[in-house]
């Protein structure tokens, strides 16, 4: 009886220094090569299409770019299994979509390199995982930084285990990253539900109030529906004035404790404010319609509007919650440079409760949204940890620093395979 060979595990093999910083040590029996020797490059077959061309030919075939599928069209250039690597617009070493696998019929623009493994030398899946892990930024120098030209790409260091090990590592990573991805997807879906719950909670409170037994009547405004009988309905311009922020270049800021707010939130700090506390900041350009709130004075720059006690006699917190349900980010009068016009907001019909009810509604929403926000933040932290785990797992596996079964596949039975008659 022949004794079975023991399973080979990466942790049991001798290691050697790769002399590549982002690789570190690799197993002694692995070859250290470069991408040019492991793949065939098909960049000469790329054909970019503009938006109008793509709109004219919608279809079923993926139109691929630097970080994934950007459209679907009715024609294709490639048919097979390939690895696409971002030429520009990628976040190498940070974004798992800077390198990704494509299988079947697809089209590629000129923002992605098209790679295909060389048979008996490399495995597409393993090459993709290596490129996800690779510190590609360190391979780019001088004026080419920010764009991975073909010369720099060809020189990317590539550890190459025996082909059966490449496939075993890729299969292992497919299984293990799929588990992590499912957990991430479920957690993201839970956060999406929590955010929907948050919006519904705010919408219900600011349009219906807190007293379930109060008499309600039609507001005459379709999106508001029914409201408490004793509430008013007014255009928003009678509730609050949106004041323009002021110009403040980054180089003119004096680093201190006053938050500087742009359309998407805090963009820096300064030594003086141009608002009173509390204040609401609404994006005017860029991330237009985004609503932020601060309990301390801030400097609102000229891409924003702000509301403080000088521009409204209503409860600031209630105004903040009311603005959140208006979906201001979905309207723009400036198609060239998306933005939010004050008149658009001023013309919106709004439900206005008495001041004491506004304060009660704001207190209620402060408590309840804080609970939801805490859950969302906890889930976001978990997602970040899972992504770190995913990155670390790929890094360890493709550099030979993780324990797994790398037993070579058994040889085919005698009489079957290349060189045999094939008779059974």
pLDDT digits (tens, 9 = 90+) for 243-274: 999 999 999 999 999 999 999 999 999 999 99
Residue 336, domain CATH: 3.90.220.20
pLDDT-wise least confident of 84-93, 200-209, 217-226: 84-93
CB atoms within 10 A of CB 20: 17
Average pLDDT over residues 223-235: 94
Question: How far, in Å, CA of 79 to CA of 162, rounded?
Answer: 27
Closest CA to 282 of 322, 222, 313: 322
Higher pLDDT, 299 or 330: 299
Question: How far, in Å, CA of 370 to CA of 341, rounded?
Answer: 30
Instruction: Compute CA distances 355 → 234, 279, 295, 315, whole Å.
Output: 14, 17, 19, 7
233 and 148 within one domain: no
- The total domain count for the chain is 2
Confidence of residue 295 (pLDDT cuts 50, 70, 90): very high
Provide the domain limits for residue 276. Answer: 194-373
Cα of first residue to Cα of last residue in the chain, in angstroms, is 26
364 and 226 within one domain: yes
Cβ–Cβ under 8 Å, residues 247 and 300? no
199 and 149 within one domain: no
Could you tell me the pTM of the whole model? 0.81
Average pLDDT value for the chain: 88
Instruction: Compute CA distances 90 → 4, 71, 168, 184, 267, whole Å.
Output: 47, 18, 28, 22, 24
* pLDDT over 70 (residue 134): yes
Question: How far, in Å, CA of 288 to CA of 385, rounded?
Answer: 31
Q: Which of 356, 373, 390 is the last residue of a domain?
A: 373
339 and 241 within one domain: yes
* pLDDT over 50 (residue 312): yes
Question: How far, in Å, CA of 28 to CA of 398, rounded?
Answer: 14
253 and 350 within one domain: yes
Of 87-101, 144-158, 381-395, where does the model show the most confidence? 381-395
Higher pLDDT, 201 or 328: 201
Q: Which of 350, 373, 396 is the last residue of a domain?
A: 373
């Amino acid at each position: 009886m022949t004794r079975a060979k023991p399973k080979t595990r990466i942790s049991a093999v001798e290691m050697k220094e790769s002399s590549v910083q982002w690789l570190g040590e690799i197993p002694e029996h692995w070859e250290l090569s470069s991408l040019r020797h492991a793949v065939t490059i098909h960049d000469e077959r790329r054909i970019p299409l503009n938006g109008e061309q793509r709109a004219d030919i919608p279809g079923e075939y993926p139109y691929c770019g630097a970080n994934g599928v950007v459209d679907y069209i009715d024609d294709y250039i490639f048919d097979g299994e390939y690895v696409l690597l971002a030429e520009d617009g990628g976040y190498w070493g940070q974004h798992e979509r800077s390198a990704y696998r494509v299988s079947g019929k697809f089209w590629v623009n000129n923002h992605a390199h098209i790679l295909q493994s060389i048979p008996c030398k490399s495995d597409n899946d393993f090459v993709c995982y290596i490129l996800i892990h690779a510190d590609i930024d360190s391979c780019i120098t001088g004026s080419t930084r920010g764009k991975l030209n073909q010369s720099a790409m060809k020189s990317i260091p590539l550890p190459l285990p025996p082909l059966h090990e490449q496939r075993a590592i890729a299969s292992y990573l497919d299984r293990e990253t799929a588990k992590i991805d499912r957990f991430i997807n479920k957690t993201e879906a839970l956060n999406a539900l929590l955010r929907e719950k948050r919006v519904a909670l705010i919408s219900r409170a600011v349009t219906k109030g807190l007293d379930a037994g109060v008499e309600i009547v039609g507001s005459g405004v379709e999106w508001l529906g029914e409201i408490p009988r004793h509430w008013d309905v007014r255009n928003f311009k009678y509730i609050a004035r949106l004041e323009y922020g002021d110009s403040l270049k980054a180089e003119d800021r004096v680093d201190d404790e006053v938050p500087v707010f742009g359309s998407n939130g805090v963009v820096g700090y300064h030594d003086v404010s141009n608002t009173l506390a509390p204040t609401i900041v609404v994006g005017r350009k860029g991330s237009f319609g985004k609503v932020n709130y601060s309990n301390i004075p801030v400097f609102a720059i000229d891409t924003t509007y702000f509301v403080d006690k000088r521009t409204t006699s209503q409860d600031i917190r209630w105004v903040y919650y009311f603005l959140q349900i208006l979906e201001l980010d979905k309207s723009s009068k400036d198609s060239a440079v998306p933005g939010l016009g004050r008149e658009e907001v001023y013309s919106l019909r709004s439900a206005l409760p008495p001041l004491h009810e506004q304060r009660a509604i704001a207190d209620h929403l402060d408590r309840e949204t804080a609970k939801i926000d805490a859950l969302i933040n906890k889930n976001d932290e978990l997602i970040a940890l899972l992504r770190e785990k995913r990155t670390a797992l790929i890094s360890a596996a493709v550099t030979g620093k993780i324990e797994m079964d790398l037993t070579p596949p058994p040889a085919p039975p005698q009489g079957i395979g290349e060189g045999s008659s094939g008779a059974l």
